[in-house]
Every structure is written in C-alpha cells, then in structure tokens.
Amino acid sequence: MTESQGAYSPQPHSYSAPVNPEWPPPPPYEPPTATMPAPEPGPAPRRGRTRGPIGLLAAVAIVAAAVGGGTAYAFQELTGKDTVDSTGTTTTVVPSSKKGDVAAIAAAVSPSVVEIQAALGSGSSTGSGVIITGDGEIVTNNHVVSGATSVKVRTSDGKSYTAEIVGTDSSKDLALIKLRGASGLKAAALGNSSNVQVGDSVVAIGSPEGLTGTVTSGIVSALDRDVTVSTDENQGQNQGGDGQWPFQFGGREFNGDTGSSTTTYKAIQTDASLNPGNSGGALIDANGNIIGINSAMYSSSSQSSSSSDAGSIGLGFAIPVNTVKSDLAKLRAGSTS
C-alpha cells in the first residue's frame, strides 16, 4: 500500500489511529452567490481571509496524520501482527536527554532480550534472543538453536517459557522462535542499520556464559566485514573450546574449524565485549534501537590455559538489523534452509 492509498482508500481495521480520515468538512458558511442579498454597507467582512488559511492548515494536519497512521496500518496488514515490531526509520526508545546513556538504554531494552537454552543430541547450547512481538516472537542466531530437540527461554523478569522453532536461515545465521503461552512482552524497536557509522556508540545485551542480562558497551569499529560461518548443524557446539561459534575472517579461522559448508554475510564489527552466550543478543544504538544481532566473537584459543588471554578482546560481529527485517517474512513462513 502506498502512503497516498493509506490516506484516500479507507479499509476496515481494528487499529485505532486515524489512518483513513476524510477531508475536512466545508466551512460553516455559504460562499456568496448571485441570489444572496447584498451585504450591508460597511467594511468588507474578513471572515473568508482568516478562515481560509486555518482551514488549509487543518487539512494539512489531518492529511499528515493519515500518512503516519497509514504507514503503520500498511505494515500491520503486511505482517498480520497487531503490534508493529519493526520500523523503517530510527525511533527514540530512550528520552532525548538520555541519548547514549548506557544505564538508560539498558533499562529500556533489557526487557526485550532473553536467554535461550537449547537441548541438543550431543549436549546443550546457551545463547540470547531479541523479542520482536508482544506475543513472543524472538529472533536469534541459527547456530544457537540448530539441531535442538527442545528450546527453553528465560525473560529478564525470570519467567521461563517453552519455545518452538518457527523458521531458520543458515545462510544468514538467523532463526525465529515463538514462545508458547506468552503475551504482553516488551518488543524491541528495530532500527535502521543503513544509518550506522564507524565510531557510533553501541550497547550489547545478552547472556554470556549464562549470565543473563549482561550489559556491555563500546563503539562500531568497522562496517561491512565479510564474516564466514558454518552452516553445518551443530558445527559450533563442540568446537573452539567452551562451545564458541567458529568463523572465518580475513582468510583466518577463529574458535575452531568451520567445516566444509559455510556462508558469508556482511557484518557490523564492534569492540563491545562479546563472549559465548552473547550469540543472538542485541546490539543497540544510542537511541535504544536494535541495529544488529550479535553472532560471532573472537577469543584466544588459549584462554583455558592462560588467564591473561581469557574473555573478549574486543573483536565481535553482528548481523545488521536490516538483514533481519528482510528475512522476517521467510522465517515466519516456516523456512528451514
């Protein structure tokens, strides 16, 4: 639906915003005609001159409201959801006076990030996910839930849910899961990764090493990095030490062998601290919008034997949120590629 169609073609819908307002009614007076009596002598009435611009402004205001409401209506019709879970433009989740404030961003977005526990035939996988609808749709990495026999999710308030895998896309390392019996959850605001610039401040939220709701911060250190990950089921769960997901970058392999079946995507690079368990979690901009899904991070292979090498060294990668949004329809349709 185009914006103009949203303004002029009424459609019945439960959405309460004035998405299809009619044009303003005519002015409450009749224009002069030849049959009307001549006006009384005196200064010419100024009513038409003052009301004309006001009427025009009112019309413009109503049409502007129609365009805004029509956009939301069109998105709801497209997705079939009562809650708009993504936007084409950046919104402000935190107050403008708190832009870039890590504490404010964490308070606003943490309720939209969950911990995921996936039971596998050979063990288990711990990761994170981002709530995108109030009834429990969650985006995460494919490698977090790939090959899972069951999936458990814990929200930031400690509630536990069973989830089912709706769709997966190994070529983008993305998956969509759905909580059973969930309602009233806080959906994250999906931003616009095309606006991201090197040097932008970012916040990462996830469950590294099972530490639910961990918040770290940093900057965007590079864009459009070609990151290669495995598409083999369970490839990353038993390799790289501590179950880290293996990936390739710059001709080198990190965290283990990626295997023979791989895929490459353009990633956002960040120095925000990421560790095993952050996979599938949120990378967030200064306004509180999700700009990426954390997916790969480097840790030294010797971390288990040398405490000086333990943990993140500031080299992490995230799948741009615009890639996520373009893949949602496919995931919702139940694709298992």
Cα–Cα distance between 278 and 29 in angstroms, integer?
A: 66
Q: Is 232 a catalytic residue?
A: no
185 strand-pairing partners: none
Q: Which of 86, 110, 143, 312 is catalytic?
A: 143
- Gap between the Cα atoms of 20 and 188, Å rounded: 27
User: How many beta carbons lie within 10 A of that of residue 178, not counting itself?
Assistant: 19
Q: In 3D, which of 200, 215, 193 has the Cα closest to residue 128?
A: 215
Q: Is 236 within 8 Å of 274 (Cβ atoms)?
A: no
Catalytic residue among 112, 125, 279, 295: 279
Question: 8-18 b/e with 16+ CB inside 10 Å = b?
Answer: eeeeeeebeee
Q: What six digits make up the tokens of 111?
A: 């309720």
What tokens appear for 158 in the block?
Answer: 């400690």
Structural contact between residues 139 and 174, judged by C-beta atoms closer than 8 angstroms: yes
* 13 catalytic residue (yes or no): no
Which pair of tokens denotes residue 3? 């914006």
Q: Which two tokens stand for residue 162?
A: 């069973």
Catalytic (active site) residue 279: yes
> Residue 49 corresponds to which tokens in the numbers above?
């001159």
Distance between CA 91 and CA 149 in Å, rounded? 37
Question: Do 193 and 322 touch, CB atoms closer than 8 A?
Answer: yes
From the candidates 85, 173, 200, 327, which is the catalytic residue? 173
Determine phi and psi for 209, rounding to 5 degrees.
55, 25
Catalytic residue numbers read 143, 173, 279
